[in-house]
């Protein structure tokens, strides 16, 4: 695929898949004998969740939430709003939030507080990408894939104006494309 806005590849397909395997092994080990409810935040985490789930060796079920996030810009608004809530109760369940990327931490902080209030048996986080440099609020990440630089990344579920979620690797945008994606102030 030709990607005009791509500056360079940050993580190639085999690096990502190897890491997903490591994360799945750790999760499978920790949850042995239990059933896990995987919760993904739409839409970015869908690809990661699909790959992770297929490598887990414990029984799993899926649920999804949609929250407002970046929309068509590359800047976090800091405002989190539920667009779609979970279909099923999580009370008494072992819940693992599957996140594509943690940047400011605002989305995850909100989700953790919300879901904790619904009395799951346990609540943990598995995030493929951690932009530590972008953090505004502290959040626990029990299973972490890669620490990445504080730049706008696209691919493997993450979009640029809803495009490129299907790209199997992760790339960094050209600076001019990053600027073009920011909201006018
Ligand atoms: P946070 O609330 O931690 O700032 O942001 C979490 C959400 O922002 C992610 O789930 C993702 O949708 C979006 N996001 C954060 N950084 C990036 C990035 O570099 N690229 C893309 N495409 N989305 C991002």
- CATH classification of the domain holding 124: 3.40.50.2020
Strand boundaries in the chain, DSSP class E? 6-11, 36-42, 60-67, 82-84, 94-102, 122-130, 143-147, 153-154, 170-173
Asked if residue 139 is part of any domain, the answer here is yes
- Residue 73 in contact with ligand 1 by CB distance below 6 A: no
Contact (CB, 8 A) for 99 and 127? yes
If you average pLDDT over residues 97-108, what whole number do you get?
A: 95
* Rounded Cα distance, 61 and 36, in Å: 6
- The domain of 42 spans 12-148
Stretch 122-139: mean pLDDT:
97
Question: Residue 104 domain-assigned?
Answer: yes
What does pTM read for this prediction? 0.92
Ligand 1 center from residue 167 Cα (angstroms): 17
Is residue 164 situated within a structural domain? no
| pLDDT value, residue 170 | 98
Residue listed under structure tokens 């959040």: 139
Residue 144, SS3 per DSSP: strand
What pLDDT was estimated at residue 177? 80
* Phi, psi dihedrals of residue 108, rounded to the nearest 5°: -65, -40
Residue 157 belongs to a domain: no
Pairing of strands 170-173, 6-11: antiparallel
Task: Tell me what pLDDT residue 36 has.
Answer: 98
When divided into structural domains, the chain yields a total of 1
Q: Is the CB of 44 under 6 A from ligand 1?
A: yes
Question: What's the mean pLDDT when you consider all of the chain?
Answer: 92
For the residues 161-174, what does the mean pLDDT come to? 96
For residues 100 and 148, is the Cβ–Cβ distance under 8 A? no
For the ranges 38-52, 58-72, 93-107, 132-146, which has the lowest average pLDDT? 58-72
For the segment 8-18, the average pLDDT, to the nearest whole number, is 98
In a domain, 167, yes or no: no
Is the residue at 183 inside a domain? no
| Whether residue 175 has pLDDT greater than 90 | no
- Out of 42, 68, 156, 158, mutate this one to test ligand 1's pocket (max ligand atoms within 8 Å of CB): namely 158
Does residue 48 have a pLDDT over 80? Answer: yes
Q: For residues 3-31, give the mean pLDDT.
A: 97
Q: Tell me, what's the pLDDT at 183?
A: 44
Identify whether 28 is part of a domain.
yes
């Amino acid at each position: 695929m030709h990607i005009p806005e791509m500056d360079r590849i940050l993580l190639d397909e085999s690096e990502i898949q190897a890491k997903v395997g490591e994360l799945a092994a750790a999760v499978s080990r920790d949850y042995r004998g239990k059933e896990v409810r995987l919760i993904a935040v739409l839409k970015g985490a869908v690809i990661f969740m699909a790959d992770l789930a297929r490598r887990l060796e414990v029984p799993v079920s899926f649920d999804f939430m949609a929250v407002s996030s970046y929309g068509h810009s590359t800047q976090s608004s800091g405002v989190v709003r539920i667009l779609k809530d979970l279909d099923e109760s999580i009370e008494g369940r072992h819940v693992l939030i599957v996140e594509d990327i943690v940047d400011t931490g605002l989305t995850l902080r909100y989700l953790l507080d919300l879901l904790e209030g619904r009395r799951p048996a346990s609540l943990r986080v598995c995030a493929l990408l951690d932009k530590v440099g972008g953090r505004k609020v502290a959040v626990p990440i029990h299973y972490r894939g890669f620490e990445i630089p504080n730049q706008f990344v696209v691919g493997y579920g993450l979009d640029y104006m809803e495009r490129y979620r299907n790209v199997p690797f992760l790339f960094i945008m050209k600076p001019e494309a990053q600027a073009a994606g920011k909201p006018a102030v």
